Amino acid sequence: MRTRQAISLCRGPVAPALWLIAGLLVAAPEATAQLTPTDRIVARLDSGWRPASRTFAGTRVFTAHQEQGQFAADYELKDGGVVDGGVSYLLWRNLGIGLDVSHFRTIHEARISSEVPHPFFFDLPRTTTGRAGGLERQELGLHIRALWVTQFADWLVVSVSAGPSIISAKQDLVTAVQHTEVGFPFSDIVFSDHTVRAQSKTTTGLNGGVDIDSFFLHRLPFLRNFAVMRHIGVGLLARYVRGVVMLQIDGQPIEVDLGGLQITSGVRFRF
Amino acid sequence: MHALNRPVCGAIALALLTLPASATAQLQAPDGVVTLSAGTGATIAALRESDTLVNQLTRDGSLRLTAQTDDPLVPDRSHERLQQFHEGVPVYGAEVTRQTARGLLVSLFGTVHLAIDLETTPRLSADDAAAVVQDLSGRTLFRSAPPRLVVLPDRANARTYRLVYEARTFTNSQLMVYFVDAATGALVWSYNDLKTQQPVLPCSQCVIGEGFGIKSDRKKMSVTTVGGAFLAHDQLRPAEVFTFDMDGDLPRTQLVLNGLSQLFDADLSTDSDNQWRDGASVDAHVGMGWTYDYLSIRFGRQGLNNQNVRMISLVHPVNRGDIFTATAEEIGLFYLNAFYCGLCGPDGVGVAVFGEGLPPNILLGGQRFDFFSGALDIVAHELAHAVTDFTSALLYVDESGALNEAFSDVIGVGVEFYAESLFRDGAGVADYALGEDVIEPGGIRSLANPIQFGDPDHYSLRFLGKDDNGGVHTNSLIPGHAFYLAIEGGANRVSGLSVAGVGAGNREQIEQIFFRAFTVLMTRNSNFAAARAATIQSARDLYGVNSAPERAVTDAWAAVGVN
């Protein structure tokens, strides 16, 4: 079992990170304190994941049996894949600017809690719960970054960045729920189905992160003769993005948090 | 074979009862009539003796099983209802209820006649009897209730039995029960079986409407939509509930009650926008539904007959504006009363009719009379008569008739308290007064203080005349007051005896005790003493011997002078 997990890790999105660590070990003996970067342009292409940590909720009022009922949807965001890419340019000494694009997608559920009016009596709602699955969240982010780049060695570059983001979010929201009456005396009711409608909106936010890049390939004996290998490396980016968007279901606002911590890794190209 | 055996067995049974006291000391058979009242409080010998008699009569075919039900309130209990027959002809009012627990006898109540010596071949046919009744009443008999041959014990003279035909007919103002001699065609006995309020949905078409009662109180209406209109036809409850608006057409109302005219969807109370504003229709329709709910949730009963028979009511049987040309009989029944007519209406399933009340500017005795359906306790009261008809069928005369009325009052009050606690909007304030929501001020009866309306609150004050079927309404307050005392406690005004009631928070206990006693333990001829025994037995079955509810019930009966 443990062996299988280890193999899985090597093949998963963290594989480039493991390569980065391997590169550090290989190149460590020759590390020197060369703090100003030698290359002005770095391009990245990453993939990774965003851990599940966010929930948001929406409440909707409806009319049934001549009375108002309501349901609350607690949206439980799950882990999702992130694809992230971008370019940075060194402006002056260690200061640079970057422009990244990221895309996050996940399929998640919402826990539905309903209060449904009784067919015979006022003020005697029945409560029920259920789950609405297959909900999709997508976030397309454009991140403008100011970078402080430090080159610890020819093969090891670390940058710290922050800046504004523009996030376009698309979220499936539960707009209606259906219930099935169990029958007389109608003291119980069963959640049976739900209706979903996608809502899209763009907002601004903030981003900040740390990128550790290792250009160690040209130091490997079997790649030493390939000059292009000096420009190719691997990197690990930890980025936190924060944004808030107000979505609406028939005029009722739902505040949705966007972004979160994401860990990506991938290839780096420097010029 | 059976014809020979039965008198012999009856004689043996009678002989058993005349054995020396050491052998059978419990059962008494004065004049050959045995009253069984053996329950948890009886000695084993008495119970065994009663059981021996019942078994013997069952073996020889004199007692036959007519109903068997599992007890919805006490697990593992079941109830049998046995009817006595004499040479294949039912003996009127001679019934036994037998309660068992996993096959072991718990209680026996009822009356059997052991000294019947009567030839059972009638000289008149059923058609002949129908013709006699038609002459007597001026009405055609219900198709669903042809005359049936019965042995009728004489109510005044013991050991006197007559072979008669029993027939029922509605005579525009009375549901008469006639007993016609099967040999001569002479009228032997008759009584009015009309139970009056006072003397004298998951389907595709089901929708919920909003209705306003006569007091503009907001209620939900379970109705049916057809062709864009909304009809007062509740299909959400297991028993369909219909409310028909007779539109003040008295002749048609009477034809419907007589079974001579059908009711159609067009007769249902209707509304165009599902915002119902005819208070009489709203209150009748909602009240019937709530009564169904109460019977189901409180007692596990499936509607009036425990088989979800349709519940039908008629509102606006007359027009208030016509009161000045109406007869006194019509005013007394269709304006100032509500009644339940068993066997009336479509298929003879029974109909509740709610009187129209008086024009607002007319007072009677200082009281204003509104639409009778506007009182939830009156609606429930009338429907409870149907429950009685389908269970103990308490004879609507004298003490059994008073018990019949008392049971309806108990259910009426019970539904009102139930509604108050659960149905927050539109139920009004619950109390022990009857009809106070439509007969203002005060109502017509009070279980808490019967003397307020001149009704007896003690057995010693009971009405002994012939009026009102032997005082069925006024005497009903004696058991009704016992019910009140068992819940709320207090001292009886006459006896001064105090009762420690179970308390309003435990009213469900007394309601269940009474309901169970009246529906499964009592029989057609039960009197107050039998009701006392049955309710005490019921209390023991439900809550145990010497439990607080049993003590409350026992003390309450003692306080009102029934021992």
pLDDT in tens, A196-250: 889 999 999 999 999 999 998 888 888 888 888 889 999 999 999 999 999 988 7
Instruction: Identify whether B382 is a catalytic site residue.
Output: yes
Determine contact, residues B356/B335, Cβ cutoff 8 Å: yes
- Name which of A65, A181, A185 is nearest B293 (Cβ-Cβ): A185
Are B289 and A186 in contact (CB < 8 Å)? Answer: no
CA distance B80 to chain A (A): 28
Residues of A in contact with B209 (CB under 8 A): 66
> In this predicted structure, which of A188-192, A203-207, B210-214, B489-493 has the lowest mean pLDDT?
A188-192
Residue A67 above 60 pLDDT? yes
Q: Which residues of B touch A123 (CB under 8 A)?
A: 424-425
Q: Are strands B63-70 and B77-86 parallel, antiparallel or unpaired?
A: antiparallel
Q: What pLDDT band is residue B295 in, cutting at 50, 70 and 90? A: very high
What's the confidence (pLDDT) of residue A19? 59
- With contact defined as beta carbons under 8 Å apart, do B541 and B106 qualify? yes
Distance CA B291, CA B48 (A): 39
Residue B212 has pLDDT above 50, yes or no: yes
Q: Give the per-residue pLDDT at B27.
A: 63
| Res A23: pLDDT | 55
Contact B193, B210 (CB under 8 A): no
Is the Cβ–Cβ distance between B388 and B340 less than 8 Å?
no
* Euclidean distance between CA atoms B538 and B73, whole angstroms: 10
- Alpha carbon distances (Å) from B38 to B21, B34, B74: 17, 12, 19
Question: Cβ atoms within 10 A of the Cβ of A220, count?
Answer: 13
Provide the number of CB pairs (under 8 Å) joining chain A to chain B. Answer: 49
For the domain with range B206-387, which CATH number is right: 3.10.170.10, 3.40.120.10, 1.20.1420.30, 3.30.200.190? Answer: 3.10.170.10
Is A184 close to B237, i.e. CB distance below 8 A? Answer: yes
Per the prediction, chain B carries an average pLDDT of: 87
**Cα–Cα distance, B494 to A113 (Å, whole number):** 58
- Does B80 participate in catalysis according to the annotation? no
- Stretch (H or E) spanning A10: helix A2-11
Pair of tokens at residue A224 = 């030493």
User: Which residues fall within 8 angstroms of residue A147, CB to CB, at 6 or more apart?
Assistant: A88, A90, A95, A96, A97, A98, A159, A160, A161
Is the pLDDT at A254 greater than 60? The verdict is yes
Q: What CATH architecture applies to the domain B401-559? A: Orthogonal Bundle (1.10)
Fold of the CATH domain A2-54+80-107+136-171+200-270:
Porin (2.40.160)
Rounded to 5 degrees, what angle do the CA atoms B31, B35, B39 make? 155
State residue A54 phi and psi, 5-degree precision: -105, 140
Question: What's the rounded Cα separation, in Å, for the pair B284 and B314?
Answer: 8
State which amino acid sits at residue A159.
Answer: S
Yes or no, beta carbons of B424 and A123 under 8 Å apart: yes
A251: phi then psi, degrees, rounded to nearest 5:
90, -10
**pLDDT confidence of residue B545:** 93
Q: Mean per-residue pLDDT for B341-356? A: 85
B28: confidence class by pLDDT, cuts 50, 70, 90: low
Q: Does the distance separating the beta carbons of A66 and B208 come in below 8 Å?
A: yes
Residue among B209, B236, B425 whose CB faces A123 most closely: B425
Nearest to A66 among B210, B293, B422 (CB): B210
Of B220, B296, B297, Cβ closest to residue A122: B220
Q: How far is CA A193 from CA A190, A250, B203, B306, B448, in A?
A: 9, 19, 19, 35, 52
> What is residue B16's three-state secondary structure?
helix
**Placement of tokens 């006898």 in the chain:** B105
Q: For residue B31, is pLDDT > 80?
A: no
Instruction: Please give the C-alpha separations between residue B468 and each of A233, B486, B539, in angstroms, as whole numbers.
Output: 107, 27, 31
**How far apart, in Å, do the first and last CA atoms of chain B sit?**
43
Residue A60 has pLDDT above 60, yes or no: yes
List Cα–Cα distances, B515 to A100, B75, B109, in angstroms: 78, 16, 15
User: What are the residue boundaries of the structural domains of chain B, listed by start?
Assistant: 2-113, 126-192, 206-387, 401-559
Q: What is the pLDDT of residue B49?
A: 85
What pLDDT shows up at residue B142?
A: 55
Q: Which ranges of B272-318 does DSSP label H, i.e. alpha helix?
A: 279-299
Q: What top-level class would CATH report for the domain B126-192?
A: alpha beta
Give the residue from chain A lying closest to B290, CA to CA: A120
> Rounded mean pLDDT of A126-154?
93
List chain A domain ranges: 2-54+80-107+136-171+200-270
Are the CB atoms for B384 and B457 separated by under 8 Å? Answer: no
* Average confidence score pLDDT of chain A: 85
Question: Which residues lie below 8 Å from residue B294, measured CB to CB, with a gap of 6+?
Answer: B380, B411, B414, B415, B418, B419
B2-113 belongs to which CATH class?
A: alpha beta
A contacts of B208 (beta carbons < 8 Å):
65-66, 119-120
pLDDT at B428 over 60: yes
Residue B202 to residue A124, Cβ atoms within 8 A: no
Domains B206-387 and B401-559 share a fold: no
Q: Which residues of A touch B424 (CB under 8 A)?
A: 121-124
- Nearest residue in A to B239, CA atom: A184
A220, A27 Cβ separation under 8 angstroms: no
Are A122 and B293 in contact (CB < 8 Å)? no
How would you list the strands of the sheet with B218-226, edge to edge?
B270-271, B229-231, B218-226, B206-212, B275-276
- A121, A124, A178, A182: best to mutate for the B interface, most B CBs within 10 A: A121
How many angstroms separate the CA of residue B223 from the nearest CA in chain A?
A: 11
Q: Is the peptide bond before B146 cis (omega within 30 degrees of 0)?
A: no
What is the mean predicted confidence (pLDDT) over B68-79? Answer: 87
Judge: A181–B220 Cβ closer than 8 Å, yes or no: no
Q: Measure the CA–CA gap between B211 and B233, rounded to whole angstroms.
A: 14
Contacts of A66 in chain B (CB under 8 A): 208-210, 220
HEC letters along A237-259: EEEEEEEEEEEEECCEEEEEEEE
Give the Cα separation of B244 and B232 in Å (integer).
7
Task: Taking residues B72-87, report their average pLDDT.
Answer: 90
Which residues of chain B are at the A interface, by a Cβ-Cβ cutoff of 8 Å?
A: 201-202, 208-210, 218-220, 222, 236-238, 289-290, 293, 296-297, 422-426
Q: Are B548 and B473 in contact (CB under 8 A)?
A: no
What's the farthest any 2 CA atoms get from each other in chain A?
Answer: 85
Q: What are the Cα distances from residue B533, in Å, to B38, B192, B228, B308, B484?
A: 8, 28, 55, 30, 17
Q: What is the mean pLDDT of residues B408-435?
A: 83
User: Are residues A98 and A76 in contact, defined by beta-carbon separation less than 8 angstroms?
Assistant: no
CB-CB neighbors (< 8 A) of B287 in chain A: none
Helices (H), B300-375: 328-330
